[in-house]
Chain A
Amino acid sequence: AQTVTQSQPEMSVQEAETVTLSCTYDTSESNYYLFWYKQPPSRQMILVIRQEAYKQQNATENRFSVNFQKAAKSFSLKISDSQLGDTAMYFCAFTLLGNTPLVFGKGTRLSVIA
């Protein structure tokens, strides 16, 4: 079974600074997708960024980027120029190709401090 581990239960960062959230996963498969979701206090789940395992280039979405290390099974999220609105729970998620459900990590609570 696939597992996703987020080793940082809580983190904080000063506004305008950069922060990196860690995620590791375990799978014996070679083709899969990885995601980061954001859950603000409103509790809505919002897709932040996704990465296809067959792509070597790291995904970026504005201030959000990932560092995907396939051999190490690592998928970290970097948030640049942190904003107060980035305060949220961040979940790393994994899925195999072929219509399997997402497996989530336990999340990292990020607080952006003014």
Chain B
Amino acid sequence: DSGVTQTPKHLITATGQRVTLRCSPRSGDLSVYWYQQSLDQGLQFLIQYYNGEERAKGNILERFSAQQFPDLHSELNLSSLELGDSALYFCASSAGGGPKDYGYTFGSGTRLTVV
């Protein structure tokens, strides 16, 4: 157990629907990062939050949004889902505003399948 909890582990939904992925960071970590990993691809950075505020944004689609709550858990909302959104979505956390100390700690991911 890495200490980063992602729910649900698997999600199957239809095109056009909306889903919410949840992440609880490791205890004491203030930063949360979201990554998308499509089949046999590398990890694409989506967005970072630090202590409740957006810190950095990657190639995140306008249909996607995220937030970090006062208890530091984060949610990634994906709407108007398309087949191409099927992927493994990772959440990671780090102690400070960046991974310079020990790198990220990753959750086990949410496998999203859009049918």
Contacts and interface: CB of A to CB of B under 8 A. Distances in A.
A22 B45 CA distance: 22
Nearest to A4: B42
Contacts of A30: none
B106 A44 contact: yes
A33 B106 contact: no
Interface string B57-69: 0100000000000
A98 B90 contact: no
B33 A97 contact: no
A101 B33 contact: yes
* Band of interface residues on A: 20 to 34
B103 A47 contact: yes
Given A99-B97, A101-B58, A35 B42 contact: no
B109 A43 contact: yes
A101 B45 contact: yes
Contacts of B55: 99
A45 interface: yes
A25 interface: no
Interface residues of B, number: 29
B92 interface: yes
Given A33-B100, A97-B98, A105 B42 contact: yes
Contacts of B15: none
A22 B5 CA distance: 32
A42 B9 CA distance: 12
B104 to A, nearest CB: 6
Given A101-B33, A103-B45, A105-B42, A47 B102 contact: yes
7 contacts: A35-B99, A43-B109, A95-B100, A99-B96, A100-B56, A101-B48, A102-B104
Interface of B: 2, 31, 33, 41-45, 48, 50, 55-56, 58, 88, 90, 92, 96-100, 102-106, 108-109, 111
Given A99-B55, A102-B33, 12 more contacts: A33-B103, A43-B108, A44-B2, A45-B106, A46-B106, A47-B104, A95-B99, A99-B98, A99-B100, A100-B98, A101-B98, A103-B45
